[in-house]
Structure 1
């Protein structure tokens, strides 16, 4: 909800940018933790499920736009994922790539290289979520490596020391203070929000979101080198900040079981369903109306967003909407063969 009015107030812009620094990297990393490079029936079915859900929801959004806005299908239908659906395409693509990445000697370094180099090409963008897939790929690889190599099974993570938690809180608080104390909430100096969505190339981002007076200049090969170095440097810094904040969040998250733990099992329902609710609130003018209240409106929208997430995590929601969130598609697949065929006798 806040994203709709993020440029209206310093608080809204700071809150949006702060969350976007780590929330998608954290989600991608956790997705990588549960991913496996093995190409077996279970892994294939899991990937196909993502694609089926994506196609179902592309159809849902097409119907919504046709009925409410009288819009025909876009020429980019199924090429550019509708709004929040990029995550499904990105996650499916990462799962397809993982078996190949896992065979590399330095998978993390390769993924970081791809994340930094890909935006140099102007063709990178929203088509099949290519820009975001490569930008977030390092976090997916880190999640997979963390499980494979037991990085998250040590005492340092399972029972973080008070000093580690203090460091994590200090980092999270320090970044929040940076956005709070910056003149204009950072917005006037740098539209960092456009960089954090990772939708476009460096050339687009430098054109639409320059950092004050800093930016590549010059013509020809020398100018291109300056442009490349500037883009790589900014992306590398944002990548490092996202990694540090993601680790900090993981360290401060309570280890005990609670009601929130149960809600966390239904994140896909929240992710897909909240878009429809927010879209209708935005199209009706409700969000803009609340946003006119200034920073108070940002607080109200934040509370409403939190309440919406809680409601969409409830079990009755999973029962009602399971058919479009977890549709049955076994009829699409061949009958799963046994992983180990019995050896012939004699």
Structure 2
């Protein structure tokens, strides 16, 4: 962890080292998903974890609010160029920002047993639970009761969980290759021109979003310190403004599906050569907007900082309302398509996802998001060995002490 820095007369608080736990995003202290902001126990410390860095919790909360707002705006984009521009602008960076932060806090992941257990209980198990729950919800709300349960075909928001599971497992690979980001970009380009990949495990999204995760893996605390500099924050203003202008220009000219990264260019109806061009162009735009967004995330404790620990709850639970609003025709009201109607939708989405990130909601759904499942795993043999060694050491010391005392007594005698 870098020392405290000073820039332009302001005291800089150092960022925590990366820990092994991913989310977009993540429950308050989930055993498998990342918890950007909570530092691990320091070596040789007293066992108490370090204080969470508010920057990452603030970033996660603001990003999840943008996710909810984007979902609320989606039905409006066919009737309003302004709504479509705002939607495209937000979609250009909200998930990349989540994924970059998740990658940053995956840097210390390896195949150690306890970390694999946390990955299973904090990512894989919630994926199974919510994939099944979303399937039954669709059967109930949609006239198609025959929609099958398929853990190989993520529906709606669950794609992020399976993607996070796969990315996390590949972390050791990215640690040993010489040029991880260019390699990840090459994989994303190849995926964009490979329609035969299919829909299993949403691999198109997994591979096309992969470069953002790898960027997070190679980032260091000093890179986030650079974003704190005053000149970076000032530069972020025209970058964000340019993003809005470009989104307004692109709204009637570009398919929104480009920003979902879930289809090959052939499936979108374009020539294969557009795959490398659009993949690299969108990656550059998304990274620029992500940096600009992170540059303006507050570094101090805010009223919403604590909510950043529950963003995975807000992410998965708000999906039922987002999809329900379509199934039950909540958008049939004409006033929603007016400017003030869009403002009401934005406020409602922000309030709802905020409530879903609170402690009471976390307490109610912790069984699904953060299951303990100690019964499902064997105790690590090495851990048991360390425990036996620790218990044996005091007795050995006592025996040695008794031997020394006995020898001294014999000498005195």
Shorter-chain TM-score tier: 0.7 to 0.9
Residue 197 (str. 1) matches residue 260 (str. 2):
yes
TM-fit CA distance, 1:86:
0.2
The 8 Å contact of residues 290 and 300 in structure 1, kept in 2 or not, is answered as no
TM-fit CA distance, 1:67:
3.1
Pick one of 285, 291, 297 that aligns with 1:241: 285
The 8 Å contact of residues 336 and 345 in structure 2, kept in 1 or not, is answered as no
Q: 1:153 to 1:306 in 2, by over 3 A?
A: closer
Aligned pairs, number: 316
Q: 1:341 to 1:134 in 2, by over 3 A?
A: same
Q: Deviations over 1:168-202 (max 9, x none)?
A: 1110112112334x3xxx332222x1000011111
Partner of residue 253, structure 1: 297
TM-fit CA distance, 1:318:
0.9
Aligned-partner SS, 1:81: coil
Structure 1: which 5+ residue stretches go unaligned? 208-214, 217-226
Partner of residue 62, structure 2: none
Pick one of 105, 109, 129 that aligns with 1:56: 129
Residue 138 (str. 1) matches residue 211 (str. 2):
yes
Matches within 5 A, 1:42-121: 42-49=114-121, 50-69=123-142, 71-72=144-145, 74=147, 77-121=150-194
Partner of residue 312, structure 1: 356
Mapped to 2, the partners of 1:109 and 1:20 lie a distance apart of 23
TM-fit CA distance, 1:76:
6.9
TM-fit CA distance, 1:257:
0.9
TM-fit CA distance, 1:134:
0.9
Partner of residue 22, structure 1: 93
- Stretch deviating more after TM superposition (17-26 or 134-143): 134-143
Partner of residue 210, structure 1: none
Matches within 5 A, 1:160-179: 160-179=228-247
Q: 1:142 to 1:291 in 2, by over 3 A?
A: farther
Superposed CA RMSD in Å reads: 2.2
The 8 Å contact of residues 125 and 199 in structure 1, kept in 2 or not, is answered as no
The 8 Å contact of residues 93 and 286 in structure 2, kept in 1 or not, is answered as yes
The 8 Å contact of residues 115 and 137 in structure 1, kept in 2 or not, is answered as yes
- Stretch deviating more after TM superposition (2-11 or 49-58): 2-11
Q: Deviations over 1:266-293 (max 9, x none)?
A: 1100100000122222222113426753
Pick one of 321, 327, 335 that aligns with 1:277: 321
The 8 Å contact of residues 195 and 266 in structure 2, kept in 1 or not, is answered as yes
TM-score, scaled to structure 1: 0.84
TM-score, scaled to structure 2: 0.71
Aligned-partner SS, 1:267: helix
Q: 1:201 to 1:166 in 2, by over 3 A?
A: same
- Stretch deviating more after TM superposition (74-83 or 170-179): 74-83
Partner of residue 4, structure 1: 75
Matches within 5 A, 1:175-190: 175-180=243-248, 182=249, 186-190=250-254
Mapped to 2, the partners of 1:99 and 1:291 lie a distance apart of 52
TM-fit CA distance, 1:122:
0.9
TM-fit CA distance, 1:341:
4.6
